[in-house]
Structure 1
Amino acid sequence: MDANKLLNLYAAGERDFVGANLHQVNLCGADLRGANFVEADLSGADLSQTNLSGCNFSRANLTDADISGGNLSGANLSEVNLIGADLIKANLEGTNLSRADLRGANLLLANLLKANLSEAEMSGADLTGANLKKANLIASNINEAEISNADFTKAIVTEYEMTGKVMHLGLSHKWVTWAGCY
Protein backbone atom coordinates (compact mmCIF):
# COMPACT_ATOMS: atom_id res chain seq x y z
CA MET A 1 0.00 0.00 0.00
CA ASP A 2 1.38 3.44 -0.83
CA ALA A 3 1.16 6.59 1.29
CA ASN A 4 -1.65 8.23 -0.72
CA LYS A 5 -3.89 5.17 -0.47
CA LEU A 6 -3.33 4.88 3.28
CA LEU A 7 -3.96 8.59 3.87
CA ASN A 8 -7.13 8.51 1.75
CA LEU A 9 -8.45 5.46 3.60
CA TYR A 10 -7.62 7.10 6.95
CA ALA A 11 -9.38 10.33 5.89
CA ALA A 12 -12.45 8.24 4.97
CA GLY A 13 -12.55 6.83 8.51
CA GLU A 14 -10.62 3.58 8.07
CA ARG A 15 -8.36 2.79 11.06
CA ASP A 16 -7.62 -0.90 10.54
CA PHE A 17 -4.34 -1.56 8.70
CA VAL A 18 -3.54 -4.96 10.25
CA GLY A 19 -0.75 -6.73 8.37
CA ALA A 20 -0.43 -3.92 5.79
CA ASN A 21 2.72 -3.80 3.67
CA LEU A 22 3.99 -0.25 4.15
CA HIS A 23 7.67 -0.96 3.57
CA GLN A 24 9.57 2.33 3.08
CA VAL A 25 6.37 4.38 2.93
CA ASN A 26 6.76 8.14 3.46
CA LEU A 27 4.19 9.41 5.97
CA CYS A 28 6.29 12.27 7.31
CA GLY A 29 4.15 14.71 9.31
CA ALA A 30 0.89 12.76 8.90
CA ASP A 31 -1.79 12.50 11.60
CA LEU A 32 -2.67 8.82 12.01
CA ARG A 33 -3.61 8.71 15.69
CA GLY A 34 -5.59 5.70 16.81
CA ALA A 35 -4.80 3.56 13.76
CA ASN A 36 -4.29 -0.20 14.05
CA PHE A 37 -1.02 -1.42 12.52
CA VAL A 38 -0.82 -4.83 14.23
CA GLU A 39 1.73 -7.03 12.42
CA ALA A 40 2.18 -4.40 9.67
CA ASP A 41 5.49 -4.01 7.83
CA LEU A 42 6.70 -0.42 8.22
CA SER A 43 10.38 -1.27 7.87
CA GLY A 44 12.36 1.67 6.51
CA ALA A 45 9.29 3.93 6.69
CA ASP A 46 9.59 7.70 7.19
CA LEU A 47 7.29 8.45 10.10
CA SER A 48 9.19 11.50 11.32
CA GLN A 49 7.05 14.20 12.91
CA THR A 50 4.01 11.89 12.56
CA ASN A 51 1.22 11.79 15.15
CA LEU A 52 0.83 8.11 16.02
CA SER A 53 -0.60 8.57 19.51
CA GLY A 54 -2.83 5.74 20.65
CA CYS A 55 -1.88 3.54 17.67
CA ASN A 56 -1.51 -0.22 17.97
CA PHE A 57 1.76 -1.50 16.49
CA SER A 58 1.83 -4.82 18.34
CA ARG A 59 4.19 -7.27 16.59
CA ALA A 60 4.79 -4.79 13.74
CA ASN A 61 8.08 -4.49 11.88
CA LEU A 62 9.56 -0.99 12.21
CA THR A 63 13.16 -1.97 11.49
CA ASP A 64 15.20 1.07 10.42
CA ALA A 65 12.09 3.31 10.48
CA ASP A 66 12.57 7.05 11.04
CA ILE A 67 10.16 8.11 13.78
CA SER A 68 12.22 11.08 14.96
CA GLY A 69 10.08 13.80 16.51
CA GLY A 70 7.04 11.55 16.26
CA ASN A 71 4.27 11.35 18.83
CA LEU A 72 3.67 7.78 20.01
CA SER A 73 2.20 8.65 23.40
CA GLY A 74 -0.08 5.94 24.71
CA ALA A 75 0.66 3.66 21.74
CA ASN A 76 0.96 -0.11 21.96
CA LEU A 77 4.35 -1.21 20.66
CA SER A 78 4.48 -4.55 22.45
CA GLU A 79 6.68 -7.13 20.75
CA VAL A 80 7.49 -4.63 18.00
CA ASN A 81 10.72 -4.78 15.99
CA LEU A 82 12.45 -1.40 16.22
CA ILE A 83 15.98 -2.61 15.44
CA GLY A 84 18.00 0.36 14.17
CA ALA A 85 14.99 2.69 14.28
CA ASP A 86 15.50 6.44 14.69
CA LEU A 87 13.40 7.75 17.59
CA ILE A 88 15.31 10.97 18.29
CA LYS A 89 13.14 13.31 20.38
CA ALA A 90 10.14 11.00 19.95
CA ASN A 91 7.33 11.26 22.50
CA LEU A 92 6.82 7.75 23.90
CA GLU A 93 5.12 8.82 27.13
CA GLY A 94 3.01 6.01 28.57
CA THR A 95 3.81 3.78 25.59
CA ASN A 96 3.75 -0.01 25.95
CA LEU A 97 7.09 -1.29 24.65
CA SER A 98 7.01 -4.60 26.54
CA ARG A 99 9.13 -7.26 24.82
CA ALA A 100 10.07 -4.75 22.09
CA ASP A 101 13.34 -5.22 20.22
CA LEU A 102 15.17 -1.89 20.28
CA ARG A 103 18.68 -3.15 19.54
CA GLY A 104 20.72 -0.34 18.05
CA ALA A 105 17.76 2.06 18.12
CA ASN A 106 18.47 5.79 18.49
CA LEU A 107 16.40 7.16 21.38
CA LEU A 108 18.46 10.32 21.87
CA LEU A 109 16.42 12.79 23.99
CA ALA A 110 13.30 10.59 23.67
CA ASN A 111 10.51 10.99 26.21
CA LEU A 112 9.84 7.58 27.78
CA LEU A 113 8.07 8.89 30.88
CA LYS A 114 6.02 6.05 32.43
CA ALA A 115 6.74 3.82 29.42
CA ASN A 116 6.49 0.05 29.87
CA LEU A 117 9.82 -1.38 28.73
CA SER A 118 9.51 -4.67 30.61
CA GLU A 119 11.46 -7.46 28.91
CA ALA A 120 12.57 -5.04 26.17
CA GLU A 121 15.85 -5.77 24.38
CA MET A 122 17.78 -2.48 24.21
CA SER A 123 21.38 -3.62 23.85
CA GLY A 124 23.36 -1.12 21.84
CA ALA A 125 20.54 1.46 21.90
CA ASP A 126 21.37 5.14 22.33
CA LEU A 127 19.39 6.48 25.29
CA THR A 128 21.52 9.61 25.70
CA GLY A 129 19.50 12.29 27.48
CA ALA A 130 16.31 10.19 27.36
CA ASN A 131 13.59 10.72 29.96
CA LEU A 132 12.95 7.34 31.61
CA LYS A 133 11.28 8.71 34.74
CA LYS A 134 8.90 6.14 36.25
CA ALA A 135 9.55 3.77 33.32
CA ASN A 136 9.05 0.04 33.89
CA LEU A 137 12.37 -1.62 33.11
CA ILE A 138 11.72 -5.00 34.76
CA ALA A 139 13.70 -7.74 33.00
CA SER A 140 14.84 -5.40 30.21
CA ASN A 141 18.34 -5.52 28.75
CA ILE A 142 20.34 -2.31 28.45
CA ASN A 143 23.76 -3.97 28.11
CA GLU A 144 26.06 -1.86 25.95
CA ALA A 145 23.38 0.83 25.65
CA GLU A 146 24.49 4.46 25.82
CA ILE A 147 22.73 5.92 28.88
CA SER A 148 24.70 9.11 29.57
CA ASN A 149 22.50 11.93 30.89
CA ALA A 150 19.42 9.67 30.79
CA ASP A 151 16.99 10.31 33.65
CA PHE A 152 16.02 7.11 35.48
CA THR A 153 14.31 8.89 38.41
CA LYS A 154 11.86 6.47 40.05
CA ALA A 155 12.31 3.95 37.23
CA ILE A 156 11.09 0.49 38.19
CA VAL A 157 13.76 -2.16 37.77
CA THR A 158 12.59 -4.98 40.06
CA GLU A 159 9.35 -6.83 40.66
CA TYR A 160 9.53 -5.71 44.30
CA GLU A 161 9.37 -2.05 43.28
CA MET A 162 6.27 -2.79 41.19
CA THR A 163 4.31 -4.94 43.65
CA GLY A 164 5.93 -4.41 47.05
CA LYS A 165 6.30 -8.18 47.31
CA VAL A 166 9.36 -10.36 46.99
CA MET A 167 8.94 -12.66 44.03
CA HIS A 168 10.70 -16.05 44.00
CA LEU A 169 10.43 -17.06 40.38
CA GLY A 170 13.97 -18.23 39.74
CA LEU A 171 15.77 -15.91 37.37
CA SER A 172 14.29 -12.45 37.51
CA HIS A 173 15.82 -11.41 34.24
CA LYS A 174 15.21 -12.79 30.78
CA TRP A 175 18.53 -11.51 29.45
CA VAL A 176 21.42 -13.04 31.38
CA THR A 177 25.01 -12.07 30.75
CA TRP A 178 27.74 -14.11 32.39
CA ALA A 179 30.93 -12.23 33.06
CA GLY A 180 33.79 -12.85 35.41
CA CYS A 181 37.45 -13.61 35.87
CA TYR A 182 38.92 -16.85 34.67
Structure 2
Amino acid sequence: MKPQELIDRYRQGERDFPGVDLSDTTWPRECNLSEINLEGADLSNSEFISIAFNKANLKNCNFSGSNFKYVKFVNADLTNAYFIQSDLYDIDFSGADLTGAQFGECRQFICCEIAQAITKNVNFDKVKFGDVNLSFLDLEGCSFYQANFGFSHWTGTNCKNCNFKLANLEYAIFREACLEGANLKQAKLKKANLMKAKLKNASFIGADLTDVNSYLTNYQEAQIIGAIMPDGEVYDPDDDSIVEGGESGGNSTKAEFINTENAPKSPNSPHQAVIINDCIYIAGQIAIDPRLNIMLCDDEITDQTRRVMDNIGAILTAAGVGWSKVVTTTIFMVNLQESDRMNSVYSSYFTNENLPICTCVAVSQLPENARVQIQCIAST
Protein backbone atom coordinates (compact mmCIF):
# COMPACT_ATOMS: atom_id res chain seq x y z
CA MET A 1 0.00 0.00 0.00
CA LYS A 2 1.16 3.55 -0.76
CA PRO A 3 0.62 6.44 1.66
CA GLN A 4 -1.74 8.22 -0.73
CA GLU A 5 -3.98 5.15 -0.98
CA LEU A 6 -4.22 4.96 2.81
CA ILE A 7 -4.98 8.68 3.02
CA ASP A 8 -7.74 8.39 0.41
CA ARG A 9 -9.35 5.49 2.26
CA TYR A 10 -9.04 7.40 5.55
CA ARG A 11 -10.83 10.39 4.04
CA GLN A 12 -13.62 8.06 3.00
CA GLY A 13 -14.11 7.09 6.64
CA GLU A 14 -11.91 4.00 7.00
CA ARG A 15 -9.81 3.97 10.18
CA ASP A 16 -8.43 0.45 10.68
CA PHE A 17 -5.09 -0.37 9.03
CA PRO A 18 -3.38 -2.67 11.57
CA GLY A 19 -0.09 -4.30 10.53
CA VAL A 20 0.13 -2.44 7.22
CA ASP A 21 3.56 -2.20 5.56
CA LEU A 22 4.34 1.45 4.73
CA SER A 23 8.09 1.36 5.17
CA ASP A 24 10.54 3.39 3.05
CA THR A 25 7.95 6.00 2.10
CA THR A 26 7.61 9.78 2.02
CA TRP A 27 4.26 10.94 3.35
CA PRO A 28 2.38 13.92 1.90
CA ARG A 29 2.64 17.05 4.08
CA GLU A 30 -0.19 18.67 6.03
CA CYS A 31 -1.92 15.34 6.49
CA ASN A 32 -4.40 14.63 9.31
CA LEU A 33 -4.66 10.98 10.39
CA SER A 34 -6.15 11.50 13.85
CA GLU A 35 -7.74 8.44 15.52
CA ILE A 36 -6.35 6.09 12.88
CA ASN A 37 -5.56 2.50 13.90
CA LEU A 38 -2.08 1.51 12.70
CA GLU A 39 -1.28 -0.94 15.47
CA GLY A 40 1.76 -3.06 14.60
CA ALA A 41 2.36 -1.23 11.29
CA ASP A 42 5.80 -1.00 9.70
CA LEU A 43 6.48 2.70 9.10
CA SER A 44 10.25 2.50 9.27
CA ASN A 45 12.73 4.52 7.21
CA SER A 46 10.06 7.01 6.20
CA GLU A 47 9.61 10.78 6.25
CA PHE A 48 6.80 12.48 8.17
CA ILE A 49 6.46 16.27 7.98
CA SER A 50 3.51 18.24 9.39
CA ILE A 51 1.32 15.18 10.00
CA ALA A 52 -1.21 14.73 12.82
CA PHE A 53 -1.59 11.33 14.53
CA ASN A 54 -3.65 12.69 17.43
CA LYS A 55 -5.48 10.00 19.45
CA ALA A 56 -4.18 7.37 17.01
CA ASN A 57 -3.61 3.72 17.95
CA LEU A 58 0.09 3.26 17.19
CA LYS A 59 0.87 0.40 19.55
CA ASN A 60 3.92 -1.64 18.56
CA CYS A 61 4.45 0.48 15.42
CA ASN A 62 7.92 0.49 13.91
CA PHE A 63 9.08 4.04 13.11
CA SER A 64 12.79 3.17 13.27
CA GLY A 65 15.13 5.16 11.06
CA SER A 66 12.45 7.69 10.16
CA ASN A 67 12.56 11.48 9.93
CA PHE A 68 9.91 13.46 11.85
CA LYS A 69 9.30 17.22 11.70
CA TYR A 70 6.32 19.10 13.14
CA VAL A 71 4.40 15.86 13.80
CA LYS A 72 1.62 15.72 16.38
CA PHE A 73 1.08 12.59 18.49
CA VAL A 74 -1.25 14.29 21.01
CA ASN A 75 -2.98 11.67 23.21
CA ALA A 76 -1.83 8.89 20.85
CA ASP A 77 -1.18 5.36 22.08
CA LEU A 78 2.50 4.68 21.33
CA THR A 79 2.93 1.78 23.74
CA ASN A 80 6.06 -0.21 22.80
CA ALA A 81 6.53 1.80 19.59
CA TYR A 82 9.99 1.85 17.99
CA PHE A 83 11.71 5.13 17.06
CA ILE A 84 15.25 3.72 17.11
CA GLN A 85 17.80 5.81 15.17
CA SER A 86 15.14 8.30 14.11
CA ASP A 87 15.31 12.11 13.85
CA LEU A 88 12.64 13.98 15.80
CA TYR A 89 12.29 17.75 15.56
CA ASP A 90 9.45 19.79 17.07
CA ILE A 91 7.27 16.77 17.87
CA ASP A 92 4.23 17.04 20.15
CA PHE A 93 3.81 13.96 22.38
CA SER A 94 1.49 15.76 24.83
CA GLY A 95 -0.67 13.26 26.70
CA ALA A 96 0.60 10.34 24.63
CA ASP A 97 1.14 6.90 26.15
CA LEU A 98 4.83 6.18 25.60
CA THR A 99 5.08 3.24 27.99
CA GLY A 100 7.89 0.94 26.85
CA ALA A 101 8.63 3.01 23.74
CA GLN A 102 12.12 2.69 22.23
CA PHE A 103 13.96 5.88 21.23
CA GLY A 104 17.45 4.38 21.48
CA GLU A 105 20.18 6.06 19.41
CA CYS A 106 17.87 8.77 18.02
CA ARG A 107 20.10 11.16 16.13
CA GLN A 108 18.16 14.10 17.49
CA PHE A 109 15.28 14.68 19.92
CA ILE A 110 14.95 18.45 19.66
CA CYS A 111 12.18 20.84 20.77
CA CYS A 112 9.91 17.90 21.53
CA GLU A 113 6.95 18.36 23.87
CA ILE A 114 6.09 15.48 26.19
CA ALA A 115 4.03 17.27 28.85
CA GLN A 116 1.51 14.99 30.58
CA ALA A 117 2.73 12.02 28.54
CA ILE A 118 2.90 8.58 30.14
CA THR A 119 6.63 7.90 30.10
CA LYS A 120 7.40 4.90 32.32
CA ASN A 121 10.15 2.50 31.24
CA VAL A 122 10.95 4.39 28.04
CA ASN A 123 14.34 3.71 26.43
CA PHE A 124 16.25 6.89 25.54
CA ASP A 125 19.71 5.28 25.43
CA LYS A 126 22.30 7.26 23.43
CA VAL A 127 19.73 9.85 22.35
CA LYS A 128 20.94 13.35 21.46
CA PHE A 129 18.55 15.78 23.15
CA GLY A 130 18.18 19.49 22.56
CA ASP A 131 15.95 22.12 24.19
CA VAL A 132 13.68 19.61 25.90
CA ASN A 133 11.68 20.27 29.07
CA LEU A 134 11.25 17.15 31.22
CA SER A 135 9.96 18.93 34.33
CA PHE A 136 7.30 17.33 36.53
CA LEU A 137 7.13 14.14 34.46
CA ASP A 138 6.95 10.60 35.83
CA LEU A 139 10.00 9.00 34.20
CA GLU A 140 10.37 6.14 36.67
CA GLY A 141 12.41 3.29 35.22
CA CYS A 142 13.41 5.12 32.03
CA SER A 143 16.89 4.59 30.61
CA PHE A 144 19.11 7.46 29.43
CA TYR A 145 22.34 5.48 29.14
CA GLN A 146 25.00 7.59 27.37
CA ALA A 147 22.34 10.15 26.41
CA ASN A 148 23.62 13.59 25.53
CA PHE A 149 21.66 16.55 26.87
CA GLY A 150 22.05 20.20 26.20
CA PHE A 151 20.55 22.52 28.80
CA SER A 152 17.76 20.31 30.21
CA HIS A 153 15.01 20.91 32.80
CA TRP A 154 14.03 18.16 35.28
CA THR A 155 12.45 20.25 38.05
CA GLY A 156 10.16 18.11 40.20
CA THR A 157 10.56 15.14 37.87
CA ASN A 158 10.28 11.55 39.14
CA CYS A 159 13.49 9.88 37.95
CA LYS A 160 13.30 7.01 40.42
CA ASN A 161 15.37 4.02 39.28
CA CYS A 162 16.33 5.75 36.02
CA ASN A 163 19.57 4.80 34.28
CA PHE A 164 21.79 7.82 33.55
CA LYS A 165 25.07 5.93 33.38
CA LEU A 166 27.66 7.85 31.32
CA ALA A 167 25.04 10.45 30.37
CA ASN A 168 26.05 14.06 29.71
CA LEU A 169 23.89 16.15 32.06
CA GLU A 170 25.98 19.29 32.35
CA TYR A 171 23.93 22.32 33.47
CA ALA A 172 20.85 20.11 33.97
CA ILE A 173 18.29 21.41 36.47
CA PHE A 174 17.18 18.62 38.84
CA ARG A 175 15.77 20.97 41.47
CA GLU A 176 13.46 19.02 43.82
CA ALA A 177 13.61 16.02 41.48
CA CYS A 178 13.41 12.44 42.75
CA LEU A 179 16.58 10.52 41.87
CA GLU A 180 16.03 7.69 44.34
CA GLY A 181 17.72 4.51 43.13
CA ALA A 182 18.92 6.22 39.96
CA ASN A 183 22.13 5.03 38.29
CA LEU A 184 24.33 8.08 37.62
CA LYS A 185 27.63 6.23 37.50
CA GLN A 186 30.25 8.19 35.57
CA ALA A 187 27.65 10.74 34.50
CA LYS A 188 28.75 14.29 33.70
CA LEU A 189 26.89 16.70 35.97
CA LYS A 190 29.14 19.77 35.90
CA LYS A 191 27.31 22.89 37.05
CA ALA A 192 24.04 20.96 37.37
CA ASN A 193 21.42 22.04 39.91
CA LEU A 194 20.53 19.35 42.46
CA MET A 195 18.91 21.63 45.04
CA LYS A 196 16.60 19.63 47.32
CA ALA A 197 16.89 16.57 45.07
CA LYS A 198 16.11 13.20 46.66
CA LEU A 199 19.13 10.93 46.31
CA LYS A 200 18.32 7.90 48.47
CA ASN A 201 20.16 4.85 47.09
CA ALA A 202 21.25 6.79 43.99
CA SER A 203 24.70 5.92 42.63
CA PHE A 204 27.09 8.72 41.68
CA ILE A 205 30.12 6.43 41.62
CA GLY A 206 32.74 8.04 39.38
CA ALA A 207 30.38 10.89 38.42
CA ASP A 208 31.60 14.44 37.81
CA LEU A 209 29.77 16.78 40.22
CA THR A 210 32.11 19.75 39.78
CA ASP A 211 30.45 23.07 40.70
CA VAL A 212 27.09 21.36 41.26
CA ASN A 213 24.55 23.42 43.19
CA SER A 214 23.52 20.94 45.85
CA TYR A 215 22.13 23.19 48.58
CA LEU A 216 19.96 21.12 50.94
CA THR A 217 20.86 17.95 49.03
CA ASN A 218 21.92 14.97 51.16
CA TYR A 219 24.76 12.96 49.63
CA GLN A 220 24.79 10.72 52.71
CA GLU A 221 21.94 8.73 51.19
CA ALA A 222 23.79 8.12 47.90
CA GLN A 223 26.84 6.17 46.75
CA ILE A 224 29.54 8.70 45.90
CA ILE A 225 32.79 6.72 45.96
CA GLY A 226 35.18 8.09 43.35
CA ALA A 227 32.88 10.98 42.44
CA ILE A 228 34.32 14.42 41.80
CA MET A 229 32.47 16.44 44.42
CA PRO A 230 31.21 20.05 44.00
CA ASP A 231 34.45 21.42 45.48
CA GLY A 232 36.51 19.54 42.88
CA GLU A 233 37.83 16.90 45.30
CA VAL A 234 37.42 13.20 44.55
CA TYR A 235 35.43 11.55 47.30
CA ASP A 236 37.46 8.96 49.20
CA PRO A 237 35.68 7.16 52.08
CA ASP A 238 39.03 6.72 53.82
CA ASP A 239 39.09 10.50 54.35
CA ASP A 240 36.54 9.89 57.13
CA SER A 241 34.11 12.51 55.85
CA ILE A 242 30.83 12.55 54.04
CA VAL A 243 29.96 15.67 52.10
CA GLU A 244 26.57 17.30 52.42
CA GLY A 245 25.93 20.44 50.39
CA GLY A 246 28.16 22.02 47.82
CA GLU A 247 29.80 25.31 47.17
CA SER A 248 26.43 27.00 46.91
CA GLY A 249 25.41 26.28 50.49
CA GLY A 250 24.96 23.75 53.26
CA ASN A 251 27.44 22.62 55.89
CA SER A 252 29.58 19.50 55.76
CA THR A 253 28.52 16.72 58.11
CA LYS A 254 31.51 14.85 59.50
CA ALA A 255 31.29 11.11 59.76
CA GLU A 256 33.41 9.55 62.51
CA PHE A 257 34.23 5.94 61.71
CA ILE A 258 34.75 3.49 64.59
CA ASN A 259 37.26 0.65 64.38
CA THR A 260 38.55 -1.19 67.44
CA GLU A 261 40.84 -4.19 67.83
CA ASN A 262 38.52 -5.52 70.53
CA ALA A 263 35.91 -6.41 67.91
CA PRO A 264 36.24 -8.15 64.54
CA LYS A 265 35.84 -6.47 61.20
CA SER A 266 32.33 -6.67 59.83
CA PRO A 267 32.02 -9.21 56.97
CA ASN A 268 30.02 -6.68 54.91
CA SER A 269 31.45 -3.28 55.84
CA PRO A 270 34.87 -1.55 55.76
CA HIS A 271 34.17 -0.06 59.23
CA GLN A 272 32.62 -1.46 62.38
CA ALA A 273 30.50 1.64 62.98
CA VAL A 274 29.97 5.24 61.93
CA ILE A 275 28.77 8.21 64.00
CA ILE A 276 26.67 10.77 62.13
CA ASN A 277 24.37 13.41 63.62
CA ASP A 278 24.59 11.97 67.16
CA CYS A 279 23.69 8.46 65.99
CA ILE A 280 25.97 5.40 66.06
CA TYR A 281 25.30 2.92 63.25
CA ILE A 282 26.93 -0.43 64.03
CA ALA A 283 27.48 -2.87 61.18
CA GLY A 284 26.05 -6.37 61.50
CA GLN A 285 28.20 -8.58 63.77
CA ILE A 286 28.59 -12.35 63.74
CA ALA A 287 30.35 -14.67 66.19
CA ILE A 288 33.94 -13.99 65.12
CA ASP A 289 36.57 -14.02 67.87
CA PRO A 290 38.50 -10.74 67.42
CA ARG A 291 41.73 -12.26 68.77
CA LEU A 292 41.85 -15.09 66.24
CA ASN A 293 39.63 -13.55 63.56
CA ILE A 294 37.78 -16.83 63.05
CA MET A 295 34.25 -18.06 63.70
CA LEU A 296 33.74 -19.84 67.01
CA CYS A 297 30.72 -21.57 68.55
CA ASP A 298 29.66 -23.08 65.25
CA ASP A 299 26.69 -25.01 66.56
CA GLU A 300 25.35 -23.46 69.75
CA ILE A 301 23.09 -20.41 69.28
CA THR A 302 23.61 -19.18 72.85
CA ASP A 303 27.40 -19.13 72.53
CA GLN A 304 27.19 -17.43 69.14
CA THR A 305 24.81 -14.80 70.51
CA ARG A 306 27.09 -14.08 73.47
CA ARG A 307 30.09 -13.61 71.16
CA VAL A 308 28.07 -11.29 68.89
CA MET A 309 26.88 -9.18 71.81
CA ASP A 310 30.40 -8.94 73.24
CA ASN A 311 31.62 -7.71 69.85
CA ILE A 312 28.88 -5.06 69.76
CA GLY A 313 29.72 -4.09 73.35
CA ALA A 314 33.35 -3.52 72.40
CA ILE A 315 32.27 -1.24 69.53
CA LEU A 316 29.92 0.69 71.82
CA THR A 317 32.76 1.17 74.29
CA ALA A 318 35.03 2.43 71.51
CA ALA A 319 32.28 4.91 70.60
CA GLY A 320 32.14 6.09 74.22
CA VAL A 321 28.69 4.74 75.15
CA GLY A 322 27.12 1.71 76.80
CA TRP A 323 24.21 -0.65 76.23
CA SER A 324 21.70 1.86 77.62
CA LYS A 325 22.23 4.01 74.52
CA VAL A 326 21.12 1.29 72.07
CA VAL A 327 17.88 2.43 70.42
CA THR A 328 17.09 -0.33 67.94
CA THR A 329 18.46 -3.69 66.84
CA THR A 330 17.91 -5.97 63.88
CA ILE A 331 18.55 -9.67 64.40
CA PHE A 332 19.01 -12.04 61.47
CA MET A 333 18.60 -15.75 62.19
CA VAL A 334 18.84 -18.90 60.11
CA ASN A 335 16.43 -20.79 62.38
CA LEU A 336 13.71 -18.84 64.18
CA GLN A 337 13.00 -21.87 66.35
CA GLU A 338 16.16 -20.89 68.21
CA SER A 339 14.72 -17.47 69.08
CA ASP A 340 13.99 -18.25 72.73
CA ARG A 341 17.53 -19.47 73.42
CA MET A 342 19.02 -16.57 71.49
CA ASN A 343 16.84 -14.09 73.39
CA SER A 344 17.83 -15.51 76.77
CA VAL A 345 21.39 -14.28 76.08
CA TYR A 346 20.52 -11.16 74.06
CA SER A 347 18.12 -9.72 76.66
CA SER A 348 20.64 -10.19 79.50
CA TYR A 349 22.69 -7.30 78.09
CA PHE A 350 19.85 -4.82 78.73
CA THR A 351 17.70 -3.76 81.65
CA ASN A 352 13.93 -3.94 81.41
CA GLU A 353 13.83 -0.14 81.32
CA ASN A 354 16.27 0.07 78.42
CA LEU A 355 15.25 -2.74 76.09
CA PRO A 356 15.68 -1.42 72.52
CA ILE A 357 13.15 -1.78 69.73
CA CYS A 358 13.95 -5.06 68.01
CA THR A 359 13.22 -6.67 64.65
CA CYS A 360 13.98 -10.34 64.06
CA VAL A 361 14.30 -11.57 60.47
CA ALA A 362 14.58 -15.11 59.13
CA VAL A 363 17.24 -15.62 56.45
CA SER A 364 18.44 -18.64 54.51
CA GLN A 365 22.15 -18.05 55.06
CA LEU A 366 24.57 -15.70 56.84
CA PRO A 367 28.27 -14.93 56.31
CA GLU A 368 30.66 -17.66 57.49
CA ASN A 369 27.60 -19.90 57.98
CA ALA A 370 26.78 -18.02 61.17
CA ARG A 371 23.49 -18.77 62.89
CA VAL A 372 22.83 -15.20 64.03
CA GLN A 373 23.87 -11.69 62.99
CA ILE A 374 22.93 -8.51 64.84
CA GLN A 375 23.17 -4.87 63.82
CA CYS A 376 22.10 -1.90 65.90
CA ILE A 377 21.74 1.85 66.17
CA ALA A 378 22.65 3.78 69.33
CA SER A 379 22.64 7.40 70.38
CA THR A 380 25.72 9.28 71.52
Please say whether Structure 1 and Structure 2 have the same fold, judged by a TM-score greater than 0.5: yes
Which residue does the alignment assign to 2:110?
A: 53
- Give, in angstroms, the shift of residue 121 of structure 1: 0.6
Corresponding residue to 2:86 among 18, 25, 30: 30
- Give, in angstroms, the shift of residue 92 of structure 1: 2.1
- Give, in angstroms, the shift of residue 89 of structure 1: 0.2
Alpha carbons 1:59, 1:78 under 8 Å: kept: no
Separation (CA, whole Å) in 2 of partners of 1:92 and 1:74? 8
- Give, in angstroms, the shift of residue 36 of structure 1: 1.8
Structure with greater strand share of residues:
2
Separation (CA, whole Å) in 1 of partners of 2:119 and 2:213? 26
Structure 2: state its 5+ residue gaps.
1-37, 52-68, 217-244, 250-277, 281-326, 328-380
Deviations 1:69-89 (A, max 9, x none): 001232111112221111100
- Give, in angstroms, the shift of residue 11 of structure 1: 6.0
Which residue does the alignment assign to 2:210?
A: 153
Alpha carbons 2:70, 2:89 under 8 Å: kept: no
Show the 5 A alignment for 1:1-182: 4=43, 9-10=48-49, 12=51, 14-50=70-106, 51-158=108-215, 182=327
Separation (CA, whole Å) in 2 of partners of 1:65 and 1:123? 17
Deviations 1:126-153 (A, max 9, x none): 0000011111111211110011011111
Which residue does the alignment assign to 1:176?
A: none
**Per chain length, whose mean CA-contact separation is higher, i.e. which structure has more relative contact order (CA < 8 Å, sep 6+)?**
1
Alpha carbons 2:70, 2:90 under 8 Å: kept: no
Which residue does the alignment assign to 2:10?
A: none
Identical positions, percent: 26
SS in 1 for 2:89: coil
Deviations 1:62-111 (A, max 9, x none): 21111100012321111122211111000122111111111111110001
Count of aligned residue pairs for this structure pair? 166
- Give, in angstroms, the shift of residue 19 of structure 1: 2.2
Structure with greater helix share of residues:
2
Aligned AA (1:24): N
Alpha carbons 1:57, 1:78 under 8 Å: kept: no
Alpha carbons 1:55, 1:72 under 8 Å: kept: no
Separation (CA, whole Å) in 2 of partners of 1:53 and 1:131? 20
Instruction: Report the TM-score, using the length of structure 2 for normalisation.
Output: 0.40
Change (3 A) 1:136 1:23: same
Aligned AA (1:118): R
Aligned AA (2:43): N
- Give, in angstroms, the shift of residue 180 of structure 1: 5.1
SS in 2 for 1:4: coil
Separation (CA, whole Å) in 1 of partners of 2:78 and 2:49? 14
Larger radius of gyration: 2
RMSD over equivalenced CA pairs, Å: 2.7
Structure 1: state its 5+ residue gaps.
166-178
